[in-house]
Amino acid sequence: MSRRQFTAPDRGDLGPPDDTGCTVLHVDMDAFYASASLISRPDLRGKPVIIGGASGRSVVLSATYEARAFGVASAMPMARARRLCPQAVVIEPDHRRYAAISEAIMATFATITESVEPLSLDEAFLDVAGALRRLGSPTRIAEQLRDTIADEQGITCSVGVASTKFVAKLASTLAKPDGLIVVPRDETVSFLHQLPVGAIWGVGDKTEEHLHRLGLRTVADLAHTPVETLQRALGDVAGQSLHDLAWGRDPRAVVPQRREKSIGADETFAHDIDDPARIHRELLRLSDRTAARARSAGMTGRTVSIKVRFADFTTITRSKTLRHHTDVSREIFATARELYDRLGLQRARVRLVGVRLEGLVRSAEAPIQGRLDEPEHGWRDADRAVDRASARFGAGVVRPASLMPDPTSGSLGGQRDLS
DNA sequence: TCTGGGGTCCTTCAGCTC
DNA sequence: TCTGGAGCTGAAGGACCC
């Protein structure tokens, strides 16, 4: 679900594209969250619909093309989206439904090739080199795939077909909505050179601005700039990478399994908070959530980091690397709290806090060491028991006492000890 | 206009060891 | 014993992606 939009370069009268050697497909669902939400609301088809949270600070997760015509876009503040398109129907996201549909779509991909690299819930790369004899040309496979997903899931997708991942991804963006673009291997460079620099994967607003200041506006400009100049401006890695991509060089293969490197959770408050006790409770809740997700994924991590965003939107991070790996809620919270307290904030107004566990490895590869200060059946066992209860009765049935609603006030636990 | 939540990757800098 | 450089690691921040 790319957020950037460009116009497809004109191929002129070159005839049907030659897809020889174009075995990389990038498949991207069209307005995925909106399309998925409309499956149960067919009465809203053809109307402007925005998917997003109800809280004052939420942003647009997705919008139908009818809403986009009014200027509504992903990641836009909801308040602005509502102003741009007041007649739009707003629907709260339903992440369980999206995950279920995504799983079904990935299963469809798996019937075509084993070489599927999911990028997110709604898009993936497929390497179809091994499926050509069985299913036909890459273009034919892409067409079949689009038909199958439309029939089985009731949503449309766009597909880019090319010889490299980067070009296939660009092509699917240009094909939207409900389209298919093939970029023949021999036409890769001419295809790229017509595009603006912002079309390149990895060039965001800041880098685009930087390149514009250097007088570089198109991919052709980029390609004809000495790589050393780009490296001086953007750093060694980014400079080299941009130069390579501008010439269509992208050796990255489609990688079926990608291992997570960090797991975390953050939360933006409905209103800025300056009460340290409330922030500690939020850190506890986020540590709990992060640890539970790590255990569920069978991972442990060694570095705990926190993120704090202030009322003026400045953001800081602090991290601490432990001597051993952990997936224990209490230990992650203790580290997060220590990092927060070390900031020495005197009632600063905080907008967001986050907790993240980094340096992940599989639990089996990093046995959790028993600690001398832990009781025989330590906090790990308690966490496991909570996991089992949550699996049986639903998430949140067992929580730290400080996160239980306070019966006297109706709010979350008050001045309980969080240590 | 007023900016979510979940991630990855890169750069820079400081501290440590050899 | 002191010093400087190389290499590594951790920490922090920024940019980017969906």
Residues A54-68 have a mean pLDDT of 89
Residue A125: name the closest of A114, A133, A135 by CA. A114
Handedness of CA A86, A89, A92, A96 (dihedral sign): negative
A376: in domain: yes
Task: Give residue A222's pLDDT.
Answer: 92
Residue A293, helix vs strand vs coil: helix
User: Which range is least confidently modeled, A50-59, A108-117, A122-131, A401-410?
Assistant: A401-410
What CATH number should be reported for the domain holding residue A60? 3.40.1170.60
A91: in domain: yes
Q: pLDDT above 70 covers what percent of chain A?
A: 84
Beta-carbon neighbour count of residue A84 at 10 Å? 18
Band (A233; pLDDT cuts 50, 70, 90) = confident
Cα gap A317→A319, rounded to integer Å: 7
Strands A24-29, A157-162: pairing is antiparallel
Task: Give residue A347's pLDDT.
Answer: 82
A174: in domain: yes
Q: Which positions of A make up the binding site?
A: 28, 122
Inform me whether the pLDDT recorded for A406 exceeds 80: no
A273 with A397, same domain: the answer is yes
User: Residue at minimal CA–C1' distance from B1?
Assistant: A80
* Domain hosting residue A210, numbered range: 194-246
A275: in domain: yes
Taking the C1' atom of every nucleotide in all shown strands and the CA of A235, the nearest one is B11
Cα gap A339→A305, rounded to integer Å: 8
Q: Taking a C-beta distance cutoff of 8 angstroms, is the pair A239, A210 a contact?
A: no
Where does a domain end: A148, A170, A189? A189
Taking the C1' atom of every nucleotide in all shown strands and the CA of A55, the nearest one is B4
**Distance, Å, A309 CA → B14 C1':** 24
A286 with A339, same domain: the answer is yes
Strand partners, A113: none
Task: Give residue A403's pLDDT.
Answer: 64
Where does a domain end: A148, A173, A189? A189
Band (A393; pLDDT cuts 50, 70, 90) = low
Band (A228; pLDDT cuts 50, 70, 90) = confident
A350: in domain: yes
A201 with A184, same domain: the answer is no
Query: pLDDT of A14-51, one tens digit each?
Result: 667 899 999 999 999 999 999 999 998 999 999 999 99
A255: in domain: no
A254: in domain: no
A209 with A118, same domain: the answer is no
Does the CB of A56 sit below 7 A from strand B? Answer: yes
**Phi, psi torsion values for A31, nearest 5 degrees:** 40, 55
Cα gap A302→A89, rounded to integer Å: 44
Taking the C1' atom of every nucleotide in all shown strands and the CA of A354, the nearest one is B5
Q: What is the domain count for chain A?
A: 4
A51 with A134, same domain: the answer is no
Query: pLDDT of A273-299, one tens digit each?
Result: 999 999 999 999 999 999 999 999 888
Does the CB of A352 sit below 7 A from strand B? Answer: yes
**Distance, Å, A321 CA → C14 C1':** 21
**Interacting residues of A263 by C-beta distance below 8 A, sequence separation 6+:** A290, A293, A294, A297, A299, A301, A356, A357, A360
Task: Give residue A376's pLDDT.
Answer: 41
Q: pLDDT above 90 covers what percent of chain A?
A: 60
Query: pLDDT of A352-392, one tens digit each?
Result: 999 999 988 888 877 555 554 555 446 666 677 666 666 66
Residue at A123: amino acid letter: E
Q: Which 279-318 residues of chain A approach strand B with CB closer than 7 Å?
A: 293, 313
Q: Which 138-197 residues of chain A approach strand C with CB closer than 7 Å?
A: 169
A386 with A302, same domain: the answer is yes
